[in-house]
Amino acid sequence: MSARVRRPAEGCEGASLQGARPGVFRVFVHMAKPGAGRCGFSPRLGDVIPADLSRAVVHAVRRAVEGGELGGAGSVPERVVVERTRPGGVGEYATPVAFQVAKGAARAPRDVADVLARLLAEEPGIARVDVTGAGFLNFTLAARSEAALVREVLGAGVRYGYAAGGRAADPFCWAPSVGPRERAVREAAGRIAASQGQSYGQERAAMAVAPVARRDGDVIAAYGQDAARWAMVGVPARETPAFTPGLLVQDESNEFFRVRYAHSRARALSRNAEQLGFDAEPGEGGGTGGRELVRLIAEYPLVLEAAAHHRAPERLVRHLVAVADALLDHQHHVLPRGDEKPSAAHRAQLALAEAAGTVLAGGLALLGVDAPDFL
């Protein structure tokens, strides 16, 4: 579908962009000064992932300002917010950037949104741009090739989702007075921030971390390093983590077990496929059951970016649980059954499972939790 700009009927409201809640991912993109960066640089989206959309919005604002359509440099905001639309909203993603730009441009937000919508509609990876309400921009992305996404994940490995300039975190050194919860949360937040090319220095002092409750005692000795760390990073830093016997239960009732088990299943599927004489080959064979898994894998970079900005490792925890559950549903469609011979669809389904396993391995590593191949 070619990109086009469409206004919904008058009275339609744009997606609400206030607040945040589980499942809503917000992307904060810092704006460069007009004229900064490589001369003539234009990010072409092609197969769009959600994180690419934020960069396209940045570029559109800069083009409009430098082209004189939206006033001078004062109308360029320091950062742009893009988030998923809420149920009942228009499109898949939305941004209130027109309201930020309108003041400096001395224009109505709706007029600013119209200018930006026209520029963004030129991007081949955007199927539609809607201007709603008083000036919200709403986006529907063109369908992305499953094969292209899977190739990207398998090519990047556990660094999939890292931003340009992303890196491994520097070694952590803690004073003896720093408790295990504070170490776990700050280390996870630091790794995620580093993966997005962000520094993690001055924010440490401002990040309040609730300690483990005294009644729980030595949780690392009681539950093990990985299970204890999972529980400590799985809730917001200001909240006290809960430790129950269920954390050690090895069945589907335990999210910690499900995530690591799903990773081990992805590895087992690869071993089983090798025994059957076929390898993974990215394709479009994920089928109906794999669509949710494809969506979650595509959104992983956006989750990392939001978790880095908010210093919120628990956002990554929630996403890994969703990926694991989707993978455990998908696993039943990967291997041939009975006398069935391996087909292109099986190879594509295996590649999708391996991509999901890669996301789980990378996410667990950022949290400081081991991802076993056998479980």
* In a shared domain, residues 132 and 100: yes
* In a shared domain, residues 70 and 12: yes
* In a shared domain, residues 122 and 150: no
pTM over 0.85: no
Start-to-end C-alpha separation, the chain? 44
CA distance 77 to 59: 12
* In a shared domain, residues 296 and 178: yes
CATH of the domain at 113: 3.30.1360.70
Residue-range definition of the domain harbouring residue 103: 4-141
pLDDT of residue 78: 61
* In a shared domain, residues 224 and 87: no
Within 10 Å of residue 16's Cβ, how many Cβ atoms? Answer: 16
Cβ contact 118:5 at 8 Å: yes
* In a shared domain, residues 42 and 179: no
- Phi and psi, residue 63, nearest 5°: -60, -45
How many domains would you assign to the chain?
2
Residue 94 in tokens: 């939305």
| Among 105, 126, 141, residue at a domain's last position | 141
Within 10 Å of residue 105's Cβ, how many Cβ atoms? Answer: 22
For tokens 């400081």, the residue is: 368
pLDDT tens for the chain, 375 residues: list them: 333 333 333 333 333 333 333 333 333 333 333 333 322 333 334 455 566 777 788 888 888 888 888 876 556 766 677 887 877 788 888 889 999 888 888 889 999 999 999 999 888 788 899 999 999 999 988 777 899 999 999 999 999 999 888 999 888 888 888 999 999 999 999 999 999 888 876 455 567 999 999 999 999 999 999 999 999 999 999 999 999 999 999 999 999 999 999 999 999 999 999 999 999 999 986 555 688 999 899 889 889 988 998 899 999 999 999 999 999 999 999 999 999 999 999 999 999 999 999 999 999 999 999 999 999
* In a shared domain, residues 120 and 155: no
Task: Name the nearest CA neighbour of 130 among 100, 92, 79, 88.
Answer: 92
* In a shared domain, residues 109 and 168: no
